[in-house]
């Protein structure tokens, strides 16, 4: 059997430090499970031909050359075969792949880039850090954003960050805002990322999506769009403060799907929309959306009494969602991002291994937070932080390279992520780690910059939203 080995480096990105490959078109990770497979890939990416690889590895491992050749061909075939279409039970093992990283990474695998502080909506529950000040009214916030000296991440800086990511093995870029598409050079930035072979995800409220723009996004390797939808027409428009928000979001989802972009409908769970969650999932399902995210309101100090949702609402709602997907919305995957803790309790409540609800919890909850461990966030003013909810910064990327700032950030997060005494004995403590670790991370004063350093065999999983 003859294999075209140059197909592998042209199709896949490789992190030798992790034994991990990534297909930026299909959004598929491949983990090399043993030393032989990793050495085969090392040789392929070093430009060796098939005969040289077979000879080298046969001698190194004192193995039959025919068997080595067969194993090599099988490995390459597995890596270059298009993934099977998703079934009614999508593969969620990407979560498991990411969470194996118990030691610090040399460089993040994913990066969230906040392109702009500007938004045409006025959501009182917005988590963005420029809205955290509890003393500001909605009008004061809008004035403050308008008066910012720099409202958008500089285009040249965004492009430089993408270049660094492509060169050092950060495979997935997610763009957010504000409203992402209000950055004046948003499309230029996306198209540059596409040329670099990055798998790109865009968070949008949908207002500025047209058929032409959706087609351009798809051509730029924007493989996934996260579209905000927080209720039915009246409720969504009321929560966002925009009379056309709902219709724009629904239209955008359809246009993006038509362009071949995977759509994840994203709902922020607040007190007002809890009763209507199932209907919103139904609406998205009827459009053809098959992934739905629910993010429980993140307290900001502003309007917490209006929007705040206790953790204890999670499990009852999960049961209703599970029934809905089993009876009406076959193939719909519903997940709760931002590390909702697995016990789904307001106070830490250790779970036992025989708990009958564990399967339900793991079907929707993602477990521990990966921010600062697998991925990081860049604020609209170019500062690095572990998470877009955080206003603790680690340096400006106009002054330092991402590779210079990441080690201090990830060391700081790994130190913060320890099992709380109230979680000791929980059967899923390792998977959960207490859920969101942001509260323990805030040991410094709000808005502080911390620790700026001196500059000196194969398993597969598809990406999620």
Q: Which residues make Cβ contacts (< 8 Å) with residue 28, sequence separation at least 6? A: 22, 83, 460, 461, 462, 463
Residue 438 pLDDT class (50, 70, 90 cuts): confident
Backbone angles phi, psi at 376, to 5 degrees: -145, 175
Closest to 159 measured CA to CA, from 183, 130, 128, 129: 183
CATH number of 7-83: 1.10.10
Using the predicted structure, report yes or no on whether residue 174 has a pLDDT greater than 90: yes
Q: 3-class SS at 262? A: strand
* Choice between 346 and 231, residue whose per-residue pLDDT is larger: 231
For the record, the structure tokens of 246 come out as: 């709902």
> Each residue of 375-402: pLDDT tens digit?
999 999 999 999 998 888 999 999 999 9
Rounded distance between C-alpha atoms, residue 293 and residue 229, angstroms: 10
**Tell me, what's the pLDDT at 229?**
97
> Each residue of 212-224: pLDDT tens digit?
999 999 999 999 9
**Tell me, what's the pLDDT at 443?**
47
Rounded distance between C-alpha atoms, residue 115 and residue 185, angstroms: 9
Whether domain 95-441 has CATH 2.40.70.10:
no
Percent of the chain with pLDDT over 70: 88
Q: What sign does the CA torsion over 25, 27, 30, 31 have?
A: positive
Longest dimension (CA), the chain: 74
Tell me if 264 sits within 8 A of 203, measured CB to CB. no
Closest to 381 measured CA to CA, from 136, 118, 109: 118
- Sequence ranges of the domains in the chain: 7-83, 95-441
> Each residue of 78-135: pLDDT tens digit?
888 877 665 444 444 333 445 455 688 999 999 999 999 998 898 888 877 555 566 7
């Amino acid at each position: 059997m003859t294999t075209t080995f140059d197909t592998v480096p042209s199709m896949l990105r490789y992190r030798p430090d992790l034994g991990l490959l990534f297909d930026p078109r299909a959004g598929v990770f491949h983990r090399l499970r043993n030393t032989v497979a990793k050495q085969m890939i090392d040789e392929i990416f070093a430009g060796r031909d098939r005969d040289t690889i077979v000879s080298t590895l046969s001698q190194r491992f004192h193995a039959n050359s025919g068997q080595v050749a067969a194993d090599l061909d099988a490995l390459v075939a597995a890596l270059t075969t298009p993934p099977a279409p998703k079934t009614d039970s999508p593969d969620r093992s990407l979560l498991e792949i990411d969470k194996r990283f118990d030691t610090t990474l040399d460089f993040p695998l994913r990066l969230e880039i906040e392109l702009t502080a500007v938004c045409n909506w006025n959501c009182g529950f917005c988590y963005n850090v420029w809205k955290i000040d509890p003393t500001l009214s909605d009008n004061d916030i809008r004035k403050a954003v308008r008066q910012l000296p720099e409202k958008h991440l500089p285009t040249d800086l965004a492009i430089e960050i993408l270049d660094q990511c492509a060169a050092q093995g950060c495979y997935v870029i997610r763009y957010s805002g504000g409203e992402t598409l209000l950055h004046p050079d948003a499309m230029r930035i996306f198209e540059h990322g596409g040329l670099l072979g990055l798998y790109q995800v865009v968070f949008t409220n949908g207002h500025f999506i047209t058929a032409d723009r959706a087609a351009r996004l798809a051509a730029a390797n924007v493989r996934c769009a996260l579209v905000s939808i927080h209720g039915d027409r009246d409720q969504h428009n009321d929560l966002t403060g925009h009379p056309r928000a709902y219709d724009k979001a629904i239209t955008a989802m359809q246009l993006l799907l038509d362009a071949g972009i995977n759509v994840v409908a994203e709902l922020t769970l607040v007190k007002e929309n809890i009763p209507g969650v199932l209907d919103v999932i139904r609406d998205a399902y009827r459009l053809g959306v098959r992934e739905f995210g629910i993010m429980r309101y993140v307290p900001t100090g502003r309007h917490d009494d209006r929007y705040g949702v206790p953790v204890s609402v999670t499990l009852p709602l999960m049961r209703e969602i599970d029934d809905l997907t089993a009876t009406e919305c076959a193939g719909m995957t519903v997940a709760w991002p931002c590390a909702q803790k697995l016990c789904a309790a307001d106070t830490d409540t250790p779970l036992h291994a025989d708990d009958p609800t564990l399967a339900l919890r793991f079907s929707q909850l993602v477990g521990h937070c990966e921010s600062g461990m697998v991925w990081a966030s860049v604020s609209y003013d170019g500062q690095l932080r572990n998470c877009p909810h955080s206003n603790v910064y680690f340096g400006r990327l106009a002054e330092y390279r991402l590779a210079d700032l990441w080690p201090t950030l990830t060391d700081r997060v790994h130190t913060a992520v320890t099992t709380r005494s109230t979680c000791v004995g929980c059967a899923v403590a390792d998977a959960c780690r207490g859920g969101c670790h942001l509260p323990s991370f805030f040991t410094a004063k709000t808005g502080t910059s911390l620790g700026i350093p001196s500059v000196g065999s194969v398993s597969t999983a598809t990406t999620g939203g």
